[in-house]
Amino acid sequence: MRPLLEVRQVSKVFGGLKALDQVSLGVAEGEIFGLIGPNGAGKTTLFNLISRALPVSSGSVFFGGEDISRLPDYRICQMGIARTYQNIRLFGKMTVVENVMLGQHSRTRAGLGSILLRLPRERAENASARKTAEHWLDFFHLSGKRGDKASSLAYGEERRLEMARALASEPSLLLLDEPSAGMNPQEVRELNELILKIRDRGKTILVIEHNMKVIMDICDRIAVLDFGQKIAEGPPAAVRTDFRVIEAYLGKEA
């Protein structure tokens, strides 16, 4: 069966530095796929190539069987790929519900004239975007904060809000970049439950995470990067005992 997401021999070069070196992987529909590796291994760079925040130097990225390697980033979102960021990117002066409604931007069709004149199409799309936003705020237990400024949220709430905004774009593939960073153990347990529920709602998830408990508890398969190369891939039990992975994290002496 063809993967929903397929990365084929992808490389990324910055000047003389090769951040990724012929990395290949495939993520099946409905799977939670983990991407791990030491700092600087190239994980976020790979996310940036998939989402087209950066162009590939060589190789190809396929989504749903279509080569998306050279499409503009807005088309990637329209096709059904959404992401969060290692460093949270919210609009602090906007309300919580407004931040999530922005996630529907790629799904709206009303032109500038309709918006300025408040024509029926614009009003209908605005009502639909608010309904979608309310749905995801409820899912992430943020309904009570809908009218608050995003800047007033606690750190864990900001993380959940960013995920809600990404899901508001109605993606089939969700890229999560270190979603548990900065969370306490209780928040991490709640996050794990939410990610599993997102998958149960028909989403495919590719997640970068340094918290090994998160990765081992929720992922179906894991790929490991080190110095821009993929050194291992497989189910959690196999990756955890792979000598190349142990060496990458703990050194040869381990």
Segment 57-77, tens digit of pLDDT? 999 999 999 999 999 988 999
Rounded (5°) CA angle 120-167-145: 80
Tokens 């110095």 correspond to 227
pLDDT of residue 150: 92
Distance CA 144, CA 80 (A): 28
Mean pLDDT by 10 residues, the chain (254 residues): 90 93 96 94 95 95 95 91 88 90 70 48 76 93 93 92 94 95 90 96 95 93 95 93 82 54
Would you say the pTM of this structure is higher than 0.75?
Answer: yes
- Two tokens, residue 231: 């050194």
The helix/strand/coil state of 198 is helix
Distance CA 110, CA 125 (A): 8
Sketch the domain layout of the chain as residue ranges: 5-80+171-250
| CATH label, 5-80+171-250, candidates 3.40.50.10490, 3.40.50.300, 3.40.50.2000, 1.10.260.40 | 3.40.50.300
